[in-house]
Amino acid sequence: MSFDINVASADDVQRMADWAGDEGWNPGNTDAHAFFANDPGAFLIGRLDGEPVACISVSKYGLGFGFLGFYIARPAVRGKGYGIKVWDAGMARLKGRNVGLDGVVAQQHNYKKSGFRAAWNNIRHEGPMPEVAAPAGVSLVDARSIAFDRLAALDRRFFPEARDSFLAAWISLPERAAMVAVQDGRLVGFAVMRASRAASRVGPMFADSPEIAAALLSALAVKTGATAVAIDMPDRNKPAVRLAEQLGLKPAFETARMYTGADPAVEMAGMFGVTSLELG
């Protein structure tokens, strides 16, 4: 049997997203298009006698950061060493960088053995979203109507490196809506909601206050017609977790944000939801 690891095609990246759906991770329906635009060489797929059986994504950001995701071996080949071969190839691509990932509970011990350490937990909260009015003086507008440099500057406060190509695709793909909150001319919140197999996924969700976060979440649910939402909230942001409880959203899934190096210098207080478990 021959096992080969190659850079994935666009069709392969969609296949990887489908595999993630099979694992219950519930990625957005069109997320793969933004993933591919971000770093086309980041997606590796392992083929056994030509058949795709394992994959990983290893996205580079700037000169010193990388993010690992989509680490999947199909059930039929688990325990046979193909997954670790793909892992080694992926980590080699990110050599010398501080690497982040969002690890499911069952794999966190293995990630620690590979040099990762836990920074915080992301708790996915799900459920129907009640209608919430925006605070006085806050306007909610389509993110695509805002000068892109302003949006990118806001995103940069919450992510270790600039990711403009990804962000431009993330807000403009089909089956999603993106909104910002504006107060006295300042951007005080930003969130994206996209259709998924199950509850509509939300990410990122950045806001100056829980009230602004709730208003963004509510407005996006109304705009997209979402009957249920799902958002991965960092447990380090206690007001975010309290907001989920107040809105009646229930814990449904958990991962750990892990890094090989020091925690990046990002703002945690306004991070009410991470962008994605696949690319950070």
Backbone angles phi, psi at 47, to 5 degrees: -120, 130
For the domain made up of 3-101, the CATH class stated in words is alpha beta
Question: What's the chain's average pLDDT?
Answer: 96
CA distance 85 to 236: 33
- Measured between alpha carbons, how far apart are the two ends of the chain, in Å? 35
Q: How many CB atoms lie within 10 A of CB 159?
A: 24
Collapsed DSSP state (helix, strand, coil) of residue 272: strand
Closest listed residue to residue 110, CA positions, set 139, 75, 83: 83
pLDDT, residue 24, reads 85
25 pLDDT above the threshold of 90: no
Instruction: Please say whether the beta carbons of 235 and 168 come within 8 A.
Output: no
Confidence class for position 36, pLDDT limits 50, 70, 90: confident
Containing H/E element for 194? strand 186-194
Residues 156-207: tens digit of each pLDDT: 999 999 999 999 999 999 999 999 999 999 999 999 999 999 999 999 999 9
State mean pLDDT over 111-134: 96
Q: What does the pLDDT look like over 74-120, one tens digit per residue? A: 999 999 999 999 999 999 999 999 999 999 998 999 999 999 999 99
Q: In this structure, what token pair is assigned to residue 8?
A: 């994935």
Q: How many residues does the chain have?
A: 280
User: Where do the domains of the chain lie?
Assistant: 3-101, 124-273
Cα-trace Rg, the chain: 18
Q: Which long-range contacts (CB under 8 A, 24 or more apart) does 83-91 make?
A: 83/54, 85/3, 85/5, 85/46, 85/54, 86/5, 86/44, 86/45, 86/46, 86/54, 86/55, 86/56, 87/56, 87/114, 89/5, 89/44, 89/56, 90/44, 90/56, 90/57, 90/58, 91/58
The helix (run of H) or strand (run of E) holding residue 220 is: helix 210-224
**Among the listed residues 234, 182, 236, 185, the one whose alpha carbon sits nearest the alpha carbon of residue 205:** 234
Helix axes 31-38, 10-22, angle to 10 degrees: 130
Architecture of the domain made up of 124-273: 3-Layer(aba) Sandwich (3.40)
Nearest of 55, 82, 81 to residue 69 by alpha carbon = 55
CATH topology of 3-101 equal to that of 124-273? yes
Q: pLDDT tens digits, residue range 222-268?
A: 999 999 999 999 999 999 999 999 999 999 999 999 999 999 999 99
* Amino acid at the residue 200: S
Among 127, 101, 113, 104, residue whose Cα is nearest residue 42: 101
Q: Give the pLDDT confidence score for residue 193 in this predicted structure.
A: 98
Using CA atoms, how far apart are residues 190 and 151, in angstroms rounded to an integer? 8
